[in-house]
Amino acid sequence: MPDIVAIRDLGAHHGQTVTVRGWLAGRRNGGKIVFLTLRDGTGICQGVVEARQTEAFAAADALPRESSLVVTGTVRPDARATGGCELAVESLQILHAAADFPITPKPHGIEFLMEHRHLWLRSRRPTAILRIRHTVIQACRRFFDDRGFTLIDTPILSPGAGEDAQTLFPVDYFGETVFLTQTGQLYLESACLALGKVYCFGPTFRAEKSKTRRHLTEFWMIEPEVAFAELDDVIALAEGMVCACVEAVLAKHEADLALLGRDPAPLRRVQAPFPRLTYSAAAERLRSAETRRQLEGELARDRAQLQQWVDRGVALEQQLQQARKVWEQDKLQAELHVLREDIEDLERDVQNRPKHMDLAAAFEWGKDLGGSDETILSRQFDRPVFVTHYPAVAKAFYMKRDADDPRVVCNMDLLAPEGYGEIIGGSQREDRLDALEAAMREKGLTPEDYNWYLDLRRYGSVPHGGFGLGIERTLTWICGLKHVRETIPFPRTLGRIYP
């Protein structure tokens, strides 16, 4: 019995007879030769079955795509095969002959793909993204593990809090209404006073009725919490973690990023220290004439780009009419499809821009930064940027008031570059009992409802803080995607819970 070899490792077995187990990703028939595209989860390779291998040839000849199979053959180098080597098949065992596989090599619409997400996962693009997802999660966890953090699993069911019940999913808990968690933070704070440095990683749920490319109703968040830490410590931690993630992806996923069409150059610039500015400085910046000039310049450039794309579209349509070969038409049609989408996006963007410019120019101190404001700011830097010290009125009750300026809190948001926006939100926590109770009352909350949380300020309170990083938004940025839904195996969005 020949060795079972992963496709990824085939290159190390030249001249040997090996067995590959996997699925049929594609097939091309000649009269007396069949080319099989095999995938096994580690890679893709080409199998060649010649007619003189009578039994194998008969099995391969009309095998439907996505059938599962075991093939044995000789590995040989061949420049014509993707990956540089191929398997000369000697025997082929069909484990299961598939029925018509719904996802074909031709382009599909997003609705169809989402409806078949359980099968779409087998395609190259989803597997590339999911592999990168694994690396990002692993890099985060390794980062914390290497620094003496303890993983704490916080509860998913949380008692009915007064805050923002509208954006939470209610669950019937033996007759009582409870909610799916929105953050592990309050529980994590307790654990941090027990173990010093802790983190949690789990799903969180938001019932916001948002149908945009940045929203999921179920997403994953990694949240560290550190005792004896102040805002600067929290910022340094976030900076280190983001750098570690990006570094790990660059080191392991050159091919995956290329498959996704992600330019790695902007990722290589992700080096500490990240620029920092205070909320007040950000507000100044948004209102400044310099920003206005810059935005007008960008707008003019984008309008020119838009015109260029429209022209390109016209040229493509002409080429399409002249194209004879099916594959030429396919290629042109695919390019045209992408181009039309890009044009639509940019058109909308260009249309919204004057409004966003006015919003920025009229930005009032005290408001939270809007999505468009974040985009404007993040585009002014070539790496992630921290915005700190937001007005207390715009932020959560648990954030610590700044000693020098009681109007603001010791918090930070990290904005990803290239217009991707917020991926991290964090703060130093209010560690004084009276200040915390006062902040709750200001927000219309009842301190008695948070009695156990307030205990943390009654028994050995210390300065502490932490943050939460949204895994899917971070991945959207790192992978250079347009939509967050591709970064999670089975996305839950407004209006979709299948499959």
Partner RNA sequence: UCCGACGUAGCUCAAUGGUAGAGCGGGUGGCUGUUAACCACUAGGUUGCAGGUUCGAGCCCUGCCGUCGGAGCCA
Of 220-239, which residues contact RNA (CB under 7 A)?
221
Q: How far is the CB of 21 from RNA (least distance, A)?
A: 21
**Beta strands 150-151 and 197-205, pairing class:** parallel
Residue from the set 352, 358, 406, 489 that interacts with RNA by CB under 7 A? 352
Q: Is 193 or 469 the residue whose CB approaches RNA more closely? A: 469
**Beta strands 170-173 and 176-180, pairing class:** antiparallel
Of 139-158, which residues contact RNA (CB under 7 A)?
none
- Dihedral (CA of 260, 114, 468, 356) sign: positive
Residue from the set 51, 121, 299, 361 that interacts with RNA by CB under 7 A? 51
Residue from the set 87, 235, 424, 439 that interacts with RNA by CB under 7 A? 424
Q: How far is the CB of 173 from RNA (least distance, A)?
A: 23
Tokens linked to 125? 């693009």
- For residue 170, whether the previous peptide bond is cis, meaning omega lies within 30 degrees of 0, is no
**Beta strands 218-227 and 197-205, pairing class:** antiparallel
Of 63-92, which residues contact RNA (CB under 7 A)?
64-65, 78, 80-82, 86
Tokens linked to 337? 């499809």
Residue from the set 1, 175, 327, 403 that interacts with RNA by CB under 7 A? 327
Return the SS3 of 362: coil
Of 355-384, which residues contact RNA (CB under 7 A)?
368, 370-372, 374
Please count the other Cβ atoms lying within 10 Å of the Cβ belonging to residue 263. Answer: 12
**Beta strands 385-388 and 276-278, pairing class:** parallel
- 20 neighbors 38 (Cβ within 8 angstroms): yes
- Between CA 444 and CA 199 the distance in angstroms is 29
Binding status of residue 422 toward RNA by CB under 7 A: yes
- 266 neighbors 417 (Cβ within 8 angstroms): yes
Q: Is 196 or 202 the residue whose CB approaches RNA more closely? A: 202
- Between CA 286 and CA 281 the distance in angstroms is 9
474: Cα separation from own chain's centroid? 5
- Between CA 87 and CA 46 the distance in angstroms is 6
Of 183-212, which residues contact RNA (CB under 7 A)?
206, 208-212
For residue 419, give the nearest of 368, 369, 381, 390 by alpha carbon: 381
Residue from the set 1, 325, 404, 444 that interacts with RNA by CB under 7 A? 325
Return the SS3 of 39: strand
Of 469-488, which residues contact RNA (CB under 7 A)?
469-470, 472-473, 483-485
- Between CA 498 and CA 493 the distance in angstroms is 10
Binding status of residue 33 toward RNA by CB under 7 A: yes
For residue 21, give the nearest of 83, 90, 72 by alpha carbon: 72
Only one of the segments 139-147, 152-160, 305-313, 465-473 lies at the binding site for RNA (rule: CB under 7 A); that segment is 465-473
Q: Is 252 or 312 the residue whose CB approaches RNA more closely? A: 312
Binding status of residue 444 toward RNA by CB under 7 A: no
Residue from the set 42, 50, 74, 449 that interacts with RNA by CB under 7 A? 50
CA distances from 477 to 450, 457, 473 (A): 36, 37, 6
Tokens linked to 446? 């009842």
Q: Is 233 or 349 the residue whose CB approaches RNA more closely? A: 349
Of 285-314, which residues contact RNA (CB under 7 A)?
none
Residue from the set 14, 269, 337, 441 that interacts with RNA by CB under 7 A? 337
Only one of the segments 10-18, 98-106, 278-286, 438-446 lies at the binding site for RNA (rule: CB under 7 A); that segment is 98-106
Q: Is 210 or 288 the residue whose CB approaches RNA more closely? A: 210
Only one of the segments 276-284, 327-335, 398-406, 428-436 lies at the binding site for RNA (rule: CB under 7 A); that segment is 327-335
- Between CA 58 and CA 54 the distance in angstroms is 6
Residue 315: its H or E element: helix 289-322
Q: How far is the CB of 245 from RNA (least distance, A)?
A: 14
Q: How far is the CB of 451 from RNA (least distance, A)?
A: 24
Q: Is 97 or 244 the residue whose CB approaches RNA more closely? A: 97
Binding status of residue 58 toward RNA by CB under 7 A: no
Residues in the interface with RNA (CB under 7 A) total: 79
Q: Is 383 or 473 the residue whose CB approaches RNA more closely? A: 473
- Between CA 101 and CA 68 the distance in angstroms is 12
- 68 neighbors 20 (Cβ within 8 angstroms): no
Residue from the set 167, 190, 278, 280 that interacts with RNA by CB under 7 A? 167
Q: Is 63 or 277 the residue whose CB approaches RNA more closely? A: 63
Of 103-142, which residues contact RNA (CB under 7 A)?
104-112, 114
Please count the other Cβ atoms lying within 10 Å of the Cβ belonging to residue 185. Answer: 23
Q: How far is the CB of 330 from RNA (least distance, A)?
A: 4
Only one of the segments 243-251, 258-266, 331-339, 378-386 lies at the binding site for RNA (rule: CB under 7 A); that segment is 331-339
